[in-house]
């Protein structure tokens, strides 16, 4: 099995690029954002808890996200691997993922990192909020908190995956097709 971590700041284009990666490499796309949004839409207790955290620009507790991911690993068949989008977001989550995979004799194949400047993050999130009607992306203070949270808690994963020799940085600025071809070149 292949296990790719799709990494980058909010608005970097992870969701935009994931579909073509899934199709080309026969991967199961595990978007923690989508998993959480489905829980919120269903009105589950987890969904209600997640909703209040997300609306404040905060992260959902690790054990909740890890449980959802592990369940998907166990119950998904007929794929060559997984594309993890939005997980791990912290060093603790990366270690938990490594532990989860090592139990199965597996490991992360590569961390594919889409990088864009903060100014473009704000522009893309604002645009996404308008197009998709995502209330959690509509308020400036929430967007700025998400960017700050990314830099403080998620960006340290770059060094974590560099140390493991698994980090592949992709320039996320440019056309969708240009970025996609850079991703495919890194994976191939």
Domain CATH number, residue 78: 3.40.50.300
CA dist., res. 32 & res. 42, Å (int): 15
Look at phi and psi of residue 85 and say left if phi exceeds 0, alpha if psi is from -120 to 50, else beta: beta
Q: Determine, yes or no, domain membership for 186.
A: no
Domain count, the chain: 1
Q: Determine, yes or no, domain membership for 72.
A: yes
How does pLDDT run along the chain (188 residues), one tens digit per residue? 999 999 988 888 888 899 999 999 999 999 887 888 877 888 877 778 888 887 887 777 887 788 778 878 988 999 999 999 988 988 999 999 999 999 999 999 999 999 999 888 888 887 777 777 766 666 778 778 888 888 888 889 999 999 999 999 999 999 999 999 999 999 99
Q: Determine, yes or no, domain membership for 152.
A: yes
Q: Determine, yes or no, domain membership for 188.
A: no
User: Are the C-beta atoms of 34 and 84 separated by less than 8 Å?
Assistant: no
Active site residues: 14, 89, 128, 134, 146
**Containing structural domain, residue 65:** 2-180
Q: Determine, yes or no, domain membership for 53.
A: yes
CA dist., res. 5 & res. 84, Å (int): 5
* pTM of the model as a whole: 0.82
């Amino acid at each position: 099995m292949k296990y790719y971590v799709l990494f980058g700041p909010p608005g970097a284009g992870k969701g935009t690029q994931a579909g073509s990666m899934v199709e080309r490499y026969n991967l199961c796309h595990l978007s923690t954002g989508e998993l959480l949004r489905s829980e919120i839409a269903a009105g589950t207790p987890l969904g209600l808890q997640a909703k209040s955290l997300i609306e404040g620009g905060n992260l959902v507790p690790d054990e909740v996200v890890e449980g959802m991911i592990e369940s998907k690993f166990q119950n998904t068949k007929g794929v060559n691997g997984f594309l993890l989008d939005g997980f791990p977001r912290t060093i603790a989550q990366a270690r938990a993922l490594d532990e989860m995979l090592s139990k199965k004799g597996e490991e992360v194949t590569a961390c594919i990192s889409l990088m864009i400047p903060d100014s473009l993050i704000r522009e893309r999130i604002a645009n996404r909020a308008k197009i998709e009607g995502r209330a959690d992306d509509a308020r400036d203070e929430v967007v700025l908190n998400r960017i700050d949270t990314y830099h403080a808690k998620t960006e340290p994963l770059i060094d974590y995956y560099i140390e493991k020799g698994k980090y592949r940085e992709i320039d996320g600025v440019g056309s969708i097709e240009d970025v996609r071809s850079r991703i495919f070149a890194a994976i191939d």
